Structure 1
Amino acid sequence: MTSGPPEPARLLPWTGTGGKPCYLIGDGTGFLSRIADDTELAQLDIASELLDHATRILVARAWTSGEIHLLALQLTETLREVKRIAESRGGRLPSPAGDGADETCADQNGTAETDGAPPLTRP
């Protein structure tokens, strides 16, 4: 039996009850991993199509307030999905070689504890 570092938990491209994140632990080759891969691919395809659609609408400069509102809602949801995919994939990247001085751990509430560096804040 080979012993190595445990596989990181994969953030899945959907949420559970109450909008809570769903995670998968495994080697990335199972049935559920393939469903998650297919879901991510579909979400990225939709994001690409929506971006093209948004560009056409904005270039035409002929829209109603309702169209812009709907577009903003769709772009917001798509951006949320793409961000989730990026977080999931980034979380599965191997740690860069180094001394680990830049490592940050976050608890379930998103509160980060760093190695003495000042916390990052959003404007």
Structure 2
Amino acid sequence: MNAPEKPTPTDNLRLLPWTTPEGNPCYLSTDSPHSRLSLIADGIEAAQLASGEQVLAGSRAVLADPNAGERAVRFALTRAAESLGDALRIAVSRGERIPGSEL
């Protein structure tokens, strides 16, 4: 089975802040940015960004601690990578919804 083609921004689809169980992107087709699912996605994006701010603060604290062990550094880096992935996905999603953008 072939993987579905990624929709283009001109398809008026919104990249959602979650994936399928297989890790594929999810898209929303709606005429309203205020639809129930759009508002849920907005809330999840806000939570992901807030979590990213906390992860950044925690990661900086670990990196500033000269006694931080390998486990602490690996944990901080893992969480930071996850948060960066979320932030980049949000940026792509929002960028694709800017009129005239060609990401």
What's the TM-score bracket when you normalise by the shorter of the two chains? 0.7 to 0.9
Aligned length: 93
Higher relative contact order (CA 8 A, sep 6+): 2
Match of 2:23 in 1: 19
Shift of 1:14: 0.1
Larger Rg over CA atoms: 1
Spell out structure 1 runs of 4+ moving beyond 4 A.
none
Q: Secondary structure at the match of 1:18?
A: coil
- Return the match for 2:14 from 7, 10, 14: 10
- Contact 2:62 / 2:76 at 8 angstroms: preserved in 1? no
Distance in structure 1 (CA, Å) of the matches to 2:72 and 2:99: 42
Distance in structure 2 (CA, Å) of the matches to 1:35 and 1:11: 13
Query: Higher helix proportion, which one?
Result: 2
Shift of 1:62: 2.0
Match of 1:52 in 2: 57
Instruction: Give 5+ residue unaligned stretches, structure 2.
Output: 1-9
Distance in structure 2 (CA, Å) of the matches to 1:94 and 1:11: 15
Distance in structure 2 (CA, Å) of the matches to 1:60 and 1:72: 14
Percent identity over the alignment? 35
For the aligned residue pairs, the C-alpha RMSD in angstroms reads 1.7
* TM-score, normalised by the number of residues in structure 1: 0.70
Per-residue Cα deviation, 1:14-47 (whole angstroms, up to 9, x for no partner): 0013111000011211110110000000000000
Instruction: Give 5+ residue unaligned stretches, structure 1.
Output: 1-5, 97-102, 105-123
- Return the match for 2:40 from 26, 35, 39: 35
Shift of 1:48: 0.4
